[in-house]
Amino acid sequence: MGFRFTARAAARGLGLAGWAANLPDGRVEVVCEGEEKDLITFLDKMKNGPMNPYITDADVAWGNPEGEAGDFGIKY
């Protein structure tokens, strides 16, 4: 299972909204909205989960919710 699908499973398990998408330069962008405690848990799952060996760098930015509707999805 790839990073986007792992992120989707973790986010949905925590009830987060948002998406994951591959970027043209090979990075993956993830946008999540939800309760702060759930977002922290999500970050921990990404940092310490099965995809950890593939993560070489991460930038995390906190902001105000923008109203991502519904579920957590994958952008293609």
64 is catalytic: no
Cα distance between residue 48 and residue 46, in whole Å: 6
Contact call for residues 73 and 8 (beta carbons, < 8 A): yes
Instruction: Give the C-alpha separation, 68 to 48, whole Å.
Output: 26
* Active-site annotation holder among 4, 8, 12, 64: 4
Choose the catalytic residue: 8, 12, 22, 48.
22
Which residues are catalytically annotated?
4, 22
